[in-house]
A and B are shown apart, each in its own frame.
Chain A
Amino acid sequence: NAGVTQTPKFRILKIGQSMTLQCTQDMNHNYMYWYRQDPGMGLKLIYYSVGAGITDKGEVPNGYNVSRSTTEDFPLRLELAAPSQTSVYFCAVRISGGAYNSPLHFGNGTRLTVT
């Protein structure tokens, strides 16, 4: 997906476990995003970053943490996984030079199940 790589593709966690969802881009874009998508629902913003060292909360940040130490990487951390975090997670970058009104481009997603 044009330079946005997410790993792993699938993961099953037990309640209370933790994990990190990885997102890497090779296009040197500043703006990166994490969304989650529940079945039959649209995408909800978890966290976003406008550049290395800068992150901010989205609509549904509880239970998640992020860091942005480099331009390329924007990992999403789940601590104490709960069944409510069962979802598909998409990482995205803002393309076209990062202009505020430009589209987002998505990675292939990580499908997470918490049981």
Chain B
Amino acid sequence: QKEVEQNSGPLSVPEGAIASLNCTYSDRGSQSFFWYRQYSGKSPELIMFIYSNGDKEDGRFTAQLNKASQYVSLLIRDSQPSDSATYLCAVNQAGTALIFGKGTTLSVSS
């Protein structure tokens, strides 16, 4: 059973701090990795995707991938209260569908 694991949280950070969200996956053959943000009662929306080892930056968000350790993370710099949401890590499964973790709830306090 291919799995994606995330700490459910909640992860609480003060406004302006860096939030670090982590995800591990079991399928060593996975090649594409995604972070989605989901506000309560809403559908998931794509924040970042990463395919290659290393870092990928987009504004306040940085995705980090380490395929040898089967680990992907999302850093949110200068966290804002509007970043408070559940963050879902997803891994592409053999070109068919995405497997999702259970999500990490982030709370940013002002």
A interface with B by C-beta (< 8 Å): 1, 33, 35, 40-45, 48, 50, 56, 58, 90, 100-109
Q: Contact at B102–A58, with CB atoms within 8 Å?
A: no
* Alpha-carbon distance A101/B52, docked complex (angstroms): 12
**A-B interface pairs (CB < 8 A), number:** 54
CB-CB under 8 A from A101, the residues of chain B are 31-32, 51, 92, 95
Q: How far is the CA of A103 from the CA of B92 in the complex (A)?
A: 9
Known: A42-B88, A42-B100, A42-B102. Is A105-B46 also a contact (CB below 8 A)?
Answer: yes
Q: Which residues of B contact A (CB under 8 A)?
A: 4, 6, 8, 31-32, 34, 42-46, 49, 51, 88, 90, 92, 95-103
The answer to whether A48 and B97 touch across the interface, beta carbons within 8 angstroms, is yes
Smallest distance from the beta carbon of B103 to chain A beta carbons, Å?
Answer: 6
